[in-house]
Structure 1
Amino acid sequence: MNLYTTLTLRYLKKNKKRTIVTIIGVILSTALICGIGSIYESYMDYQFRQTIEQEGYFHSAFYNVKKEDLDTITKSAGIAKTSISEDLGYSKLNKEKLNLINLKAYNQNGFEMNQVKLKEGRLPTNENEIVLSERAIPLTNKKLGDTITLNVGKRIDENGKGIEIPILKENERLVDTKEKEYKIVGIMKKPYAELSEISNGITYLESNKPFEKDTLDAYILFKNPKEAYTIATNIAKTLGLEVDKSTDNGESMIYNNDNKTHYENLYFNEYLLRLQGASLYENINKTFNKILLIVTLLVIVCTVVTVYNSFSISVSERKKQFGVLNSIGATKTQVMKLVFIEAIVISLIGIPIGLIVGTFGMDLIFKSIQTVFNSQFISDINLRVIYNPYMIVGSALIVLLAILVSAILPAINCAKTSPLESIRNSDDLKIGKVKNSKLVKLIFKTEGVLAYKNLRRNKKKFRITLFSLVTSVVIFISFSGFIDLFEKANRVNIGEINYDMRVWYSGIREKNDIVKDLNNIDGVNKISAINPYGAETYINESNINKEYKDLIERRFSKENKNGEIVYIFNNNGINFVGDKAIEELELKTGSFDKESAIKENGIILRNKSDNSSSRKQSEISLTNYKVGDTINICKRYIDKNDKEVRVPIKLKVLATTEDFLPGYRWSTYMGIDFITYNEVGEKLGYKISDGDIYIDTNKTKKTRDDVKDIAKKYGYDVSDDVEDVLEMEEAINVMKIFVYGFTVVISLISATNIINTMSTNINLRKKEFAIIKSLGVTPSGFNRMIYLESLLYGVLALLYGIPIGLLIDVYMNEVLGDAIEIGMVLPIKAVLISIVGVFVITFVSAYIPMKKINKENTIENIRQGSI
């Protein structure tokens, strides 16, 4: 150990408190950048695994590919893996009702790439074996190991036209059926895309045997996701797939891209691609990169400030030490070497501890929050903390660089000053008359004036302390705003499910006692019977939202009525519901009662429309209707003579809401919704029944079985969506775990940084305070002086920090708006918390060291100097 190291270690030991404070600052900085990095990596890992489970592990797919074209796809350059599937058709599961199963065949890779998850049994290994969806099993009265006979054919409607969509239609039937016998070797979890009306069954596709159909589906996983679009479109061109230059009013949700070029039967797994930074839409990639850059810069700034503050707040004391060393012959190089060794020693202690706190600490925080939520994950995707070695090394290097800069700058500054001036340590003080504040003198008396002038004379130290406090406020507000944005965007993306079972009857149904019987079941919390009808709506030009006039012009037809332009909205819904469903809606404006509704054809308006595409998610207001306005709709139906009848109806807006009725997960696509009582529907001539019922239960098996028994009694179909609801709740809870974990880290870092800054600032001024007390300042006067300093620091930190934090949040709102339009989200709650928190923390931080100083010997503190 050389002389420099010995001297440095002796200095650190003699100044234990200052050393500990500095090390704590380093630990906090390292933990912050490493912890937030772990949160980001862990959340992206969860999203990646969840997307694969829900959407499949492939980047693109070609549908209805001719057999002879398969080699063109599978043997193209840049492809990591492919799978082949064959759509065999549909079959009834029983003779009583039209419960259908969609039968497909996968080759070996297909089971993985399409995420077939087994609950029981095994995967099929030949064309005579099958796995059935867990929803299909109860409809077949079969079990694992049994043989099932299926008559597989194609679906057609009453006009003989083929049906491809996975939704049952009235009067549809199966034709060209072929009998096929399978052994049930496995029961799989309900596929994410499986709807309630049609179940799924999968058998094995043997490539060495002739295929049953002329076309197949091919799924592709690329080696480099960013090449997915280029390679796939080149294949599409080679295959001669039809190209469609789309216009905005016919934008495809699936095949769309920035060039608005659609290749028929080519699909991109956009959800997986965007998580890998390879979205087909440049605006999404730019938004993701900008948000990531903003958050990264904020974290780095906070890290550097915390480290710099830990070193630089004692600059004046360090200057005195360096001046003494210079006066006894130490060269500038030797002083720099001492500082460098000190920085390395502190780094070797603080950085490893910070990395441990930032990694394992986040694991502990996640587990603690998860315990609070009592989240029971029902999927195979368990939350886990990811430790990225590059993130850990990067965190250590950033903090080390910040330490070296923070430690060496004071030494360089001191090297420019003569040893005598450094020892006197008076160059930071402003000599001369300092302007007094009448308000300070009025409230805090003489001691307050002394504190105020002292801060103004020590501007450099004051600015360092204030800058650290401002940074804490900015970081807390800006990150809180980001978290609010993230949470709202995630909810828009996930949607809402406000029921867990659906009971319905296809076709017109007379009223019966099914609702009464369902209400009598133990464990049923809420029942909502809804009668949904379409409502072609005529909207005057004066009632449309001018902000979206261009969009409305492209999307909707218009006509001239009585000299005014009228737009025809044809994707609206009018929903007739019972009293309880109306009572549970939270009204935004107006009031709604049955008597007025029946008398005036009154409705509750939900004026939110979904305008999302693969490029951007957006919820907008197409109209500016308000309470008291009249809306013209048209009731359309086919009479006994097969002629269309159109009946004009005037509705009056009595109230507005943004709530969803049960069964609605997102807003209606490019349409508005009307809600009113069943009695209003009867008055207007609509058929009101209990044909579509949404149920909220306690989710126990017994309750669900009882609901199914009642449905069977009345001949209704049942959709048990409990697992969908639990999976959605899981996704929301996981989001909350990450959000609250993020909040805990930011709050702890911000609060600790303020405490560290204030307490260190006071502890390093013992000699100054002792001199003031020796001049006759009383203990109460001294306390007032310190409290005034804390108040000034707090007020100024908020005056600078709040506007800067809000400006950053406004910018993040604008950046995110390029990919998902959710309106302005400002962290008002975070602003209020920061106002209260800053004053509480600064006063507490000042009180503790102040109380200790009051007990110490004044003469000893005057004699005290930096060692």
Structure 2
Amino acid sequence: MNKYTELTEKYLRGQKKRSLLTILGIVLSVTLLTSIGTIGMSYRDKLVRQTIDNYGDYHVSFNSIPGEAVPKVVNNATIATAGVISREGYAVIRSTDEKEKQENPFAAPYRYLNVKGYDANAMNMLRVQLDSGRLPENPNEIMLSTWSLDHFQKKPALGDRIRLDLGVRKAASTGKEKKINGMGDFGWDLDEAFQAQTQSEFTVVGLMKPSSHSTWSSAFIFPGITFNGNQSIDPKKKYFVYTKMKSLDQMKKKTEEIVSSLQIGSSDEGSAIELSRDNSIQNSRVEYNNELLKLYGKSTYAGVNRSAILAYAAIIAIVMMCTVAVIYNTFHISVLERVSQFGILRCIGATPAQIRKIVFKEAALLSLIGIPIGLLTGTVFMKILFYGISFLTLGFLNDMRMVVSLPILAIAGLLGVVTVYLSAIGPARQAAQVSPMEAIRSSGSTPAENITSIKKSLLIKKLFGFEGQFARRNLQRNKKRFRITAFSMIISITLFIVFNGLVDFLKQTTPSGIQYSYSIAYEGPSKRIHDSVYDDLLRLDAVQQAYKFYNQQAMAIIPKRKINPKYYELRKERYVVEAGDGYRTDNNFLQSYGDNGLDALQAKLTAGTIDKEQMNRDNGVVVVQKISMTTEQGQKLIIDQTDFKVGDQIKIRAVEGSQAQYQAVTVVGIADQDLLSKGYHESATLGFITTPEVFAKITGDDRYSRIFILANSDLPNEPIADYLQALTKEDGGYSYRDRVTELAQAKNDATTASLFFYGFIGVIVLIAFLNILNTVSTNLILRNKEFAVLKAIGMTQKEIGKMIILEGIFYGLFAATYGILIGTALSYGTHRLLADAVYTEWAIPWGSVGIAFAGALLTALVATIWPMNRLNKANIVDSLRKEN
């Protein structure tokens, strides 16, 4: 042996179990970091692609600008790519007949086709969704909405040629052209006329999927898309230019400079809405695609960017600190328990510098073994996870793909190296500085601290006997070892609580969509669906459930003390009309889903209970007061508008109807969402759900004009669709919506989200469990000689076993207490950091706390089983003779 450092390899080979335990700690930590980084990058990639599908692949759009301004935008030095859309005009598919006007007095005079010309970049940026066929490639080709086909005199098919008279909409009485804002249109005037200007012939080459977020005007105004290469810009036309910036830095300033150069007057700003909302109002001249930009940390709302960056940094910091702590703990125990061995080396001539080199070389070797394995296992684990997902029909993650990021792997590896070396500094310094004679006198385990007395606990002795006293004293006399072991458990508990809190946060902010299969509405003069229709639907085997939907706008007097102060500061304009000790509000709805709807709503209550007889007697209502809203600063809030409790009374009356007097209703329950949604209302509406009897009593109206239908997923749904189609042909006042595909998607999304969220929590739990198991087991194994001494002086194996189990319990209790406190505090801290982007009410995570507490005790007990089995087999004399 030429160098003392050559002892390192011999020691690692000679103490294989201890070395493997240390390597395992490093592997687990690097695996955790690699897994989290890979999931984070993959999830971000999924969100970016999904957001592009929903909102478009662009950064900022310039809406309804004159033709001469288009080149100034497209050729601006800050613009990388631009897609241009032109308004080609309206075309009348057919006029609304007299029968339909009688049944629906508010029907539009015509069924319109809103024709727009897209260039190739625009079609790519706005993700035009094909149902069949292909995208238009030249100006004489067109793509139609599938919903519009039945309204043509002759239903067009792919390849057919259609002739359209394109023109403008005007007020029939004045001849003034109707002002159109934005890409789509919302509403019409009954006093409306159409003036044709040009005639064009198109070949139908594609059919668009129907919008998933259509408004009530979608039944009268349908989109049509043709190709416009914009080789020549018509100065008389209005254009929409969708752009991607070369750099997202100072994007808002660059956009304002572009608008200023156009010299088109004042410019309103807004945020992009979902592409599927084709008929919604878009008045803003400049729209930022903030849903996409915030994923890049470049939202035009500074608070959102700051919150997201701080939250991500905090999460990464928590993971890094936990990883550092796990590796430090494992390596520290391994080195600290061998102080006597280093003392022997000191006695035969090794210098402190050489001792430090031995420890650091050991750290290097362990890093070379553990870190690559950790990177590999983390990557392989994620590969297996994503491979499994690929076989499942899961809406939200169905196209999620694994993103292996070299920077993530490099950071994980570098962090592992740095952490192992940092973990070695303290023990190496201690081993180098210890007196050689003192080190030799050590028993081979961590030297007991200089303790003059140990406090006795009569309670411990009474509850657990002398074994409990021994267990408690063992922890007290080796406080450093106790703290190191407990620290590892605390870190694991903290990690679990923080990430479980993040999962709950994501679940709150990820609504899963609609919850019904079909709906049928009646817009005829009576506004009443006959009960025979409801009965017919229930007779269909394919119908799982059907709900009569009663709905009327209601005025309510909201007591001032019941208004959420935070919501009041944001929406003071809602509370301006004082009435007694409260405010009168109009934007409320009294609703009923029938008696069977109340039975289903019971499971959604967060407070109270449903008793239909009591509700009929006391005018009982269930209040839906939580909404999702976005502030002017771009902060998304999940917030309660009011603070009603069970037993409160509210004065309400219908806005329309024969009952003009306010009547008192009693709150019997609180729900966060209504019956048919897992998301929160996005409009500032307060919902009161009641029985049909109470609805009729308050409104003076017992009519329902809509039925929601839940289809049986195990049976074909064609009978439902056939019945609804026949009904609409028989009476033009009926219209229906087929949401089966969307319902299946919503269910898949809910299943997928649960699988993803709890699978991720499972990874955290598994790694935390193995970490605690490793640490506690290592601690006990390294005390073989100590336990042999106790056996030699008369303690039985059963008594030693009880003492070890009690030590595990004490470890678990101590770690659970501190881990819960720290984890809860950090969970609140990350919640506060995210508040500027998405605000939700924070509550103490009692569920996570309970699981963490029970898990800590259980894991600590399980961690004692293997060492106890090893102690049972060990020979007392051999254990006393040899070092660990």
- Give the TM-score, by structure 2 length: 0.88
Give the corresponding residue for 1:78.
Answer: 78
Per mean C-alpha deviation after superposition, the further-off stretch among 833-842 and 549-558 is: 549-558
**After the TM superposition, which residues 523-538 of structure 1 pair with which residues of structure 2 at under 5 Å, given as runs?**
523-538=542-557
Give the corresponding residue for 1:865.
Answer: 883
- Tell me whether 1:361 sits opposite 2:381 in the alignment: yes
Give the corresponding residue for 1:116.
Answer: 128
Question: Which residue among 132, 137, 141 is the counterpart of 1:125?
Answer: 137
Question: Which residue among 229, 250, 253 is the counterpart of 1:230?
Answer: 253
Distance 2:514 2:682 in 1: 15
- Secondary structure of 1:537 counterpart: strand
Give the corresponding residue for 2:107.
Answer: none
Per mean C-alpha deviation after superposition, the further-off stretch among 659-668 and 286-295 is: 659-668
- Secondary structure of 2:300 counterpart: coil
Give the corresponding residue for 1:581.
Answer: 597
Distance 2:586 2:292 in 1: 33
Tell me if structure 1 keeps the 8 A contact 2:626–2:640. yes
Distance 1:234 1:273 in 2: 19
The Cα offsets for residues 410-460 of structure 1, whole Å up to 9 and x where unpaired, read as: 111121222222222375432433222222322333333233223222122
Tell me if structure 2 keeps the 8 A contact 1:127–1:203. yes
- Tell me whether 1:490 sits opposite 2:504 in the alignment: no
The Cα offsets for residues 534-589 of structure 1, whole Å up to 9 and x where unpaired, read as: 22434454554455444454444325x6xx46533232222244222233222555
Distance 1:332 1:156 in 2: 94
Per mean C-alpha deviation after superposition, the further-off stretch among 17-26 and 480-489 is: 480-489
Question: Which residue among 668, 671, 679 is the counterpart of 1:655?
Answer: 668
- Secondary structure of 1:226 counterpart: coil
Q: CA deviation at 1:184?
A: 1.3
Distance 1:2 1:320 in 2: 22
- Tell me whether 1:692 sits opposite 2:706 in the alignment: yes
Aligned length: 839
**After the TM superposition, which residues 320-335 of structure 1 pair with which residues of structure 2 at under 5 Å, given as runs?**
320-335=340-355
- Secondary structure of 2:630 counterpart: coil
Distance 2:536 2:251 in 1: 54
Question: Which residue among 529, 534, 538 is the counterpart of 1:515?
Answer: 534
The Cα offsets for residues 110-149 of structure 1, whole Å up to 9 and x where unpaired, read as: 1100111334322211111012234444655332212234
- Secondary structure of 1:718 counterpart: strand
Q: Which residue identity does 1:696 align to in structure 2? A: L
**After the TM superposition, which residues 450-599 of structure 1 pair with which residues of structure 2 at under 5 Å, given as runs?**
450-491=470-511, 496-508=513-525, 509-512=527-530, 513-539=532-558, 541=560, 544-559=563-578, 564=580, 567-586=583-602, 587=605
Mind listing any 5+ residue stretches in structure 1 that lack a counterpart? 247-251, 256-261, 638-644
Distance 2:336 2:846 in 1: 39
Distance 2:744 2:451 in 1: 69
- Tell me whether 1:778 sits opposite 2:796 in the alignment: yes
Tell me if structure 2 keeps the 8 A contact 1:535–1:633. yes
Q: Which residue identity does 1:570 align to in structure 2? A: D
- Tell me whether 1:105 sits opposite 2:117 in the alignment: yes
Tell me if structure 2 keeps the 8 A contact 1:153–1:174. no
Distance 1:621 1:91 in 2: 45
- Secondary structure of 2:249 counterpart: helix
Distance 2:249 2:778 in 1: 51
- Secondary structure of 2:250 counterpart: helix
Q: Which residue identity does 2:872 align to in structure 1? A: N
Tell me if structure 2 keeps the 8 A contact 1:170–1:507. no
Tell me if structure 2 keeps the 8 A contact 1:154–1:162. no
Distance 2:171 2:691 in 1: 33
Per mean C-alpha deviation after superposition, the further-off stretch among 92-101 and 837-846 is: 92-101
- Secondary structure of 2:225 counterpart: strand
Give the corresponding residue for 1:641.
Answer: none
Q: Which residue identity does 1:412 align to in structure 2? A: R
Q: CA deviation at 1:636?
A: 4.2
Tell me if structure 1 keeps the 8 A contact 2:143–2:204. yes
Per mean C-alpha deviation after superposition, the further-off stretch among 347-356 and 176-185 is: 176-185
Distance 1:416 1:107 in 2: 76
The Cα offsets for residues 632-664 of structure 1, whole Å up to 9 and x where unpaired, read as: 435348xxxxxxx99344242352331414479
Question: Which residue among 206, 210, 229 is the counterpart of 1:206?
Answer: 229
Q: CA deviation at 1:48?
A: 0.4
Question: Which residue among 430, 444, 450 is the counterpart of 1:430?
Answer: 450
Shift of the 758–595 alpha-carbon distance from structure 1 to 2, 3 Å rule, reads: closer
- Secondary structure of 1:185 counterpart: strand
- Secondary structure of 2:863 counterpart: helix
- Tell me whether 1:768 sits opposite 2:786 in the alignment: yes
Shift of the 163–507 alpha-carbon distance from structure 1 to 2, 3 Å rule, reads: farther
- Secondary structure of 2:337 counterpart: helix
Distance 1:770 1:685 in 2: 84
Per mean C-alpha deviation after superposition, the further-off stretch among 607-616 and 847-856 is: 607-616
Q: Which residue identity does 1:110 align to in structure 2? A: A
Q: CA deviation at 1:19?
A: 0.8
Q: Which residue identity does 1:123 align to in structure 2? A: L
Shift of the 75–409 alpha-carbon distance from structure 1 to 2, 3 Å rule, reads: same
Q: Which residue identity does 2:362 align to in structure 1? A: E
Distance 2:249 2:743 in 1: 34
**After the TM superposition, which residues 292-311 of structure 1 pair with which residues of structure 2 at under 5 Å, given as runs?**
292-311=312-331
Root-mean-square deviation (CA, aligned residues, Å) is 3.2
- Secondary structure of 1:54 counterpart: helix
Q: CA deviation at 1:155?
A: 5.1
Give the corresponding residue for 2:829.
Answer: 811
Mind listing any 5+ residue stretches in structure 2 that lack a counterpart? 101-109, 274-281
Distance 1:263 1:498 in 2: 31
Tell me if structure 2 keeps the 8 A contact 1:241–1:264. no
- Tell me whether 1:313 sits opposite 2:333 in the alignment: yes
Q: CA deviation at 1:407?
A: 2.4
Shift of the 16–593 alpha-carbon distance from structure 1 to 2, 3 Å rule, reads: closer
- Secondary structure of 2:587 counterpart: coil
- Tell me whether 1:345 sits opposite 2:365 in the alignment: yes
Question: Which residue among 413, 425, 440 is the counterpart of 1:408?
Answer: 425
Distance 1:720 1:101 in 2: 22
Per mean C-alpha deviation after superposition, the further-off stretch among 544-553 and 580-589 is: 544-553
**After the TM superposition, which residues 84-103 of structure 1 pair with which residues of structure 2 at under 5 Å, given as runs?**
84-93=84-93, 100-103=112-115
Question: Which residue among 658, 672, 685 is the counterpart of 1:671?
Answer: 685
Shift of the 745–156 alpha-carbon distance from structure 1 to 2, 3 Å rule, reads: farther
Q: Which residue identity does 1:144 align to in structure 2? A: L
Give the corresponding residue for 1:258.
Answer: none
- Secondary structure of 1:585 counterpart: helix
Tell me if structure 2 keeps the 8 A contact 1:103–1:201. yes
Distance 2:740 2:328 in 1: 53
Q: Which residue identity does 2:685 align to in structure 1? A: G
Q: CA deviation at 1:202?
A: 1.1
Distance 1:223 1:390 in 2: 23
Q: CA deviation at 1:84?
A: 0.4
- Tell me whether 1:790 sits opposite 2:808 in the alignment: yes
Q: CA deviation at 1:472?
A: 1.2
Q: CA deviation at 1:526?
A: 2.2
Q: Which residue identity does 2:517 align to in structure 1? A: D
- Secondary structure of 2:314 counterpart: helix
Shift of the 263–204 alpha-carbon distance from structure 1 to 2, 3 Å rule, reads: closer
Percent same amino acid at aligned positions?
32
Tell me if structure 2 keeps the 8 A contact 1:466–1:793. yes
Distance 1:662 1:313 in 2: 56
- Secondary structure of 2:864 counterpart: helix
Per mean C-alpha deviation after superposition, the further-off stretch among 165-174 and 526-535 is: 165-174
Distance 1:675 1:273 in 2: 38
Q: Which residue identity does 1:834 align to in structure 2? A: A
Distance 1:439 1:765 in 2: 27
Q: Which residue identity does 2:138 align to in structure 1? A: N
Give the corresponding residue for 1:271.
Answer: 291
Tell me if structure 2 keeps the 8 A contact 1:591–1:654. no
Tell me if structure 1 keeps the 8 A contact 2:489–2:772. yes
Distance 1:795 1:592 in 2: 41
Q: CA deviation at 1:742?
A: 1.9
The Cα offsets for residues 245-297 of structure 1, whole Å up to 9 and x where unpaired, read as: 99xxxxx7669xxxxxx995111111001011001112211221222122111
Q: Which residue identity does 1:348 align to in structure 2? A: L
Tell me if structure 2 keeps the 8 A contact 1:532–1:573. yes
Q: Which residue identity does 2:143 align to in structure 1? A: V
Shift of the 601–411 alpha-carbon distance from structure 1 to 2, 3 Å rule, reads: closer
Shift of the 735–170 alpha-carbon distance from structure 1 to 2, 3 Å rule, reads: farther
Distance 1:159 1:430 in 2: 101
